[in-house]
Amino acid sequence: MTEVETATDLLNQPISSASPVRYRSVLDFPTEEALREALECGVTNEIPSFATPQTDPEDFEWALPKTDPITTEAQTVDEELERLMCLKSYCLLDADREEVFDRLARLGKRALRVPYCNVSLMDFSRQWVIACEGTDQREYARKITMCSHTVQLKKTIRSLVIKDATEDFRFCENPFVQAGAVRFYAGAPLISPEGYQIGSFCVFDPLSRPNGLSAAEEATLLDLATLATREMVRYRDAKRAMIPENLIISTSHELRTPLGALQLALTLLTEDTILHEQLDAEQHGVLVNAKRTSDLLAQLCEHSIDMLRNNPRHRGLSVTSTSTLREQISLIATLLNRRVLVEFFVDKNIPESILSNKISLLQIALNLIDHGLNTSSDTSIELRLLKKDAQDTAHQLHDELVFECLFRPSDEVDISADVIFNDHLGLQSLVYWTSVLCGHYGCAPTGNNILVYSAVPLFTVANEKSTACPVNEGKTCLEIPVPSDGPPKDSTTNPSSDKCALVIEDSLVVRKTITRALKSLGYSTKEARDGLEGLKCLKDSVYDVVLCDFLMPVMDGLDCMKQYREWESKERPSLRQYIVGMSAHISSEASHQGFEAGMDDFRPKPISIQTLEEILESDRVKNKTIAQRIKQ
């Protein structure tokens, strides 16, 4: 085996056989204040922990253990804080490899005649490699890397060149140097436009170079570092260009958490027989409407996320009940009803079952109602749901489902079509969803009023009679509907038992709501507000089922599960705790990460009462006590 092959094996292996270390990143800190606190505090054995400040700078994760005052610039906490915040803004930490950086690394390897070339970023306590030639490692401990010295070079020094690391007091005890993996090193800092040295472009070799770099080679190294920095800026700009959509998607995910808790709470209330005995019919109707509204909001949220992700699902057609559609539009109109009364007309000739996208139709109706309420000068607006005959471009007759909104606009409102359909506060939602359904839209004055419409193809379900919706044709003044069947029948609550569940969730609302639901299903519960607390609870006791969120402060759910499974294999090998992961980020990647971390099942948020019942009725949980889970 050659020296390069031996060095490559060493560079691709962990430094020790001890348990893998989780290096801390600037991404771990949600606020600048939290990052500052971590920078000011020393390292403790548990990660993360910022409890005990240390006076020796060598005890800081981000400080250089040995420095050369001639070449190294002393770094204050404020300077390191600003540098890390700048680094975070480039969105490259933990990102997938990009071909443009790999290409630069290949070029550096060839141009400088070395076996290894890295483009890397210096994070809180790690070096994150965004491109590497000759090795496969993506991260190293910051304290042992030569690049950590490169990012703290004085501004007057352009590069760090180590001809033989075994003869340099800073690196002679470095584990890679002692193992023979690195002798020669040359690195240039990646200097951001803001002036921060956030990373390095480096080359290294297991053989020493007594002559170091020539002037031309050093110039090549500096040019490559400049090119890498320029590509990082382009990468950040491209990411920033995507922020509006990502922000909306992120906000939608954030809405899932409280919305899921609301749905679960309302489900528990609607099924509470003791509560219903104290409610009259009108109060019960309000409660049921609140439950229907939360369910509708959840559907609209999911539909919007699908649209922003360009998921084909948001364009899909399915059998839709026009009775249900009418009820939901009535509910929307009631909720939006302010000083103006909404009068709703439904054509009795509309078939009961049609092939369409119900949520897209609801979006159109919602946009029409909201726009009419915002621009009407009268005390009422009319919304019509009609069936009309029309001709398509092939001159073949087909039916259309038409939404019409008739209202009298106020004098200051411009009623021209260009303004109505192009104003981002107007009917842009109607324009989009009508186009998705291959329809058309428009507006026209009718006396003192204006009529705005959206027409989409009406496809009836094959082999089904065209029955009329069970409503009376004509005007309906919308009121809060009261269910005719009254409160639900009495149901027996599950008796209390010795079954126990652990809920690991940072959101207080979600945690308490799931806890109440589990108690109603006959489980005693224990709560943990983050992964660190959850890990302690898991070690202290055994549970019939554990529900663990993915994204949490201090320690996330994935790390909690990984660390617990490692501990369980050594300290509790005869038993496997049943753990169900929860996440609002619904994707195959999220579930895959959860299963790799050690979860037994995965459920997307929001968690409903039906989801909890499915979990508790599964073979792994149902009718099995903790003793029965112990491996034989």
pTM over 0.75: no
Highest-confidence segment of 92-96, 430-434, 446-450, 608-612? 92-96
The residue written with tokens 């270390």 in the block is: 21
Closest listed residue to residue 203, CA positions, set 180, 220, 178, 191: 220
Instruction: Look at residue 632 and tell me whether its pLDDT is greater than 60.
Output: no
| Alpha carbon distance 143, 125 (integer Å) | 7
CA dihedral of 363, 369, 370, 371, whole degrees rounded to 10: 110
Is the model more confident about 293 or about 111? Answer: 111
Mean pLDDT of all residues in 364-381: 80
CA distances from 245 to 207, 248, 252, 618 (A): 50, 5, 11, 38
pLDDT of residue 337: 57
pLDDT band at 250 (very low <50, low <70, confident <90, very high): low
Instruction: Look at residue 384 and tell me whether its pLDDT is greater than 50.
Output: yes
State the number of CA atoms in the 13 A half-sphere of 91 facing the CB: 13
pLDDT band at 594 (very low <50, low <70, confident <90, very high): confident
pLDDT of residue 9: 67
| Alpha carbon distance 48, 37 (integer Å) | 12
pLDDT tens, position by position, 91-112: 999 999 999 999 999 999 999 9
On whether the CB atoms of residues 443 and 416 are closer than 8 A, the answer is no
Q: What separation, in Å, do the N-terminal and C-terminal C-alpha atoms of the chain show?
A: 47
pLDDT of residue 312: 63
Average pLDDT, the chain: 78
Instruction: Look at residue 420 and tell me whether its pLDDT is greater than 90.
Output: no
pLDDT of residue 146: 94
pLDDT of residue 4: 58
pLDDT of residue 627: 42
| Alpha carbon distance 472, 342 (integer Å) | 17
pLDDT tens, position by position, 489-545: 333 334 445 789 999 998 777 788 788 888 888 899 999 988 889 999 999 999 999
Highest-confidence segment of 63-77, 263-277, 327-341? 63-77
pLDDT of residue 252: 60
Instruction: Look at residue 143 and tell me whether its pLDDT is greater than 70.
Output: yes
Tell me phi and psi for residue 164, to 5 degrees. -145, 105
pLDDT of residue 254: 66
In the chain, how many H helices and how many E strands? 20, 20
Tell me phi and psi for residue 476, to 5 degrees. -130, 115
pLDDT of residue 125: 92
Q: Which residues of 439-458 are buried (b: 16+ CB within 10 A; e: fewer)?
A: bebebeeeeebbbbbbbbbb
Helix (H) or strand (E) holding 475: strand 475-477
pLDDT band at 262 (very low <50, low <70, confident <90, very high): confident
pLDDT of residue 121: 97
Mean pLDDT of all residues in 205-214: 95
**Domain 316-477 homologous superfamily, CATH:** Histidine kinase-like ATPase, C-terminal domain (3.30.565.10)
**Domain 500-629 homologous superfamily, CATH:** Response regulator (3.40.50.2300)
Helix (H) or strand (E) holding 384: strand 380-391
Close Cβ partners of 313 (under 8 Å, ≥ 6 residues apart): 306
pLDDT band at 314 (very low <50, low <70, confident <90, very high): low
On whether the CB atoms of residues 119 and 129 are closer than 8 A, the answer is yes
Tokens of 584: 């609002």
pLDDT of residue 425: 44
pLDDT band at 477 (very low <50, low <70, confident <90, very high): very low
Instruction: Look at residue 219 and tell me whether its pLDDT is greater than 80.
Output: yes
Q: Which fold has domain 3-10+21-240?
A: Beta-Lactamase (3.30.450)
